[in-house]
Structure formats: structure tokens, C-alpha cells
Amino acid sequence: MSAEHASAPANATEYIKHHLTFLQSHGDGFWRFNLDTFWIALFLGFVFASIFAVAARSATSGTPGRLQNFVELIVEMVDSQIKDAFHAKSKVIGPLSLTIFCWVFLMNAMDFLPVDLLPKAAGALGVHYLRAVPSADVNQTFAMSISVMFLIMGFSIKAKGIGGYGKELLTAPFHASGPIGTLILAPVNLAFQTIELLAKPISLALRLFGNMYAGELIFILIAMLPWYVQWVLGAPWAIFHILVVTLQAFVFMMLTIVYLSLAVEDH
């Protein structure tokens, strides 16, 4: 690493650029990974799994502790949303929805850490670039939303069979009375179905990325101000951002539930 990279940013432009630069692996194009996104997201996944594992092992039918109450509150919230939106039976939808909500929330909540905390800690260890909010990386949000797209296809095939799902792709949303009309409309239906299928992961990914990237950028801009102005502007924005962080995790979970519910229903 050169002395220029190792030194502190010289001006506001370099400061912003420094905080918006990913720690990347060696390689070109597709084979270059954002290591900070990967490792922080993986660590937060283990944090979520560990907390819920401890709560499950220490659960009691008597007077519950604070951790058990907290976990039960989240589980009941997720379960109520599933009962309202998912009109089929599945052993996967519950754990999936709970994982999405908690994991996305933890990734979003990294925005609450002071902007310079983790980058400076990493810099002391010789790592000069680090972005702490995985959900502000469009690669992470698209990875999750593409996974949801494959789940939609899997749920559809399981509920309707390969033949039933293929028939739906060619006969909905426009229906024809005879085989000739069905054949004529098949390419149109397939095009509309493809657009609908691709629009779901794109909207999921960009909605989460856009909100978290904007929040991260605002925190960076506030961090450039004098310390007494940071408290005046930073505290209200952080309080408001609590709603944004929670809401974006909830929306990602709810849209996943709705999309999977639509996938198992017949048109």
C-alpha cells in the first residue's frame, strides 16, 4: 500500500471517496469481490444465529428472561405477517422470513456505528479501506434478491409442477379460447412473465440499496462537519434512521413473503 493510501484523506472529496471505497480482493471484473461486504455480512449472520440459538437452548415455559422475551416478540411478529400474507403451507417460509428480517436489520444497523470507527480500527491493522454497511453494497442486495427470485421459481414448480409452471408462463396473463390463439399469445405471455419475474429482484435490490446508500452518505457528510454541529444534526438523523433501518428490513421480508405467496397460487 502506498504512502498516499496509508495517509489520511487530504480534503472533503478524498474523505468521501475513501469511505465509499470497498476493500476488494485481487482479480478483474466478476472475480473481484468486496471483502468487507462479505466478511461483515457473514459475521452478522453468525451473530443472528448465535443469539437465537442461545435463546432457544435457554427457553423455558416458566418466567422467561429478557432475551427469550425479545426473541419471542420478533418470532411472533414474523409469524403474524406470514399468516396474513402467505396462504399456503410451507416449512421453509417461517425460518426464511425470520432470517431475512433479522439479517437485513443487522446489516442496516451497521450504519449506526460512528463513520470513522471501523475504518480507523482497520487502518491500525493495515487495512486502509473498509465499508461497514453490507446492505449499502448493490452486489449484496442483488445477491439476496436473486436468491428470492430462485425461491419464487422453486415454490412455483413445487406447487404446480414443472408442466403447470411452464403452462402458466405461456398462458398468463392473456388467455385465448383455442389452441391457435394460445400459440399466438404464448410469446407475449412469456415476455410479460419474464418482465414480472425480473422486476421483483430488481425492485427488492435497488430499494434496499438506495435507502441504505443514501443513509450512509448522509452520515459521512455529517461526519465532515465540526463536532458541535455533528451532534445537532447527527442525533436527529440517527433517530430517524432507526425507522429507516427497521422499515427496510420489514419491507424486504414482507415483499418476499408476498412474492412466494403469489408463486404458489394459481392465476
Examine the residue annotation and report whether 32 is marked as an active-site residue of this protein. Answer: no
**Taking 60 as the threshold, does the pLDDT of residue 2 lie above it?**
no
pLDDT of residue 7: 44
**Taking 50 as the threshold, does the pLDDT of residue 115 lie above it?**
yes
Examine the residue annotation and report whether 203 is marked as an active-site residue of this protein. Answer: yes
pLDDT of residue 188: 93
What CA–CA distance (Å, rounded) separates 159 from 102?
A: 27
Residues in the chain: 267
pLDDT band at 226 (very low <50, low <70, confident <90, very high): confident
pLDDT of residue 10: 59
Residue 11, C-alpha cell as written in the block = 480534503
Residue 92, C-alpha cell as written in the block = 421453509
Identify which has the larger pLDDT, 176 or 4: 176
The residue among 133, 130, 149, 261 whose CA lies nearest residue 205 is 149
Residue 57, C-alpha cell as written in the block = 437452548
pLDDT band at 108 (very low <50, low <70, confident <90, very high): very high
90, 139, 147, 207: the catalytic one is 207
97, 145, 156, 211: the catalytic one is 211
What CA–CA distance (Å, rounded) separates 76 from 253?
A: 14
Amino acid type, 102: C
**Taking 90 as the threshold, does the pLDDT of residue 182 lie above it?**
no
Examine the residue annotation and report whether 207 is marked as an active-site residue of this protein. Answer: yes
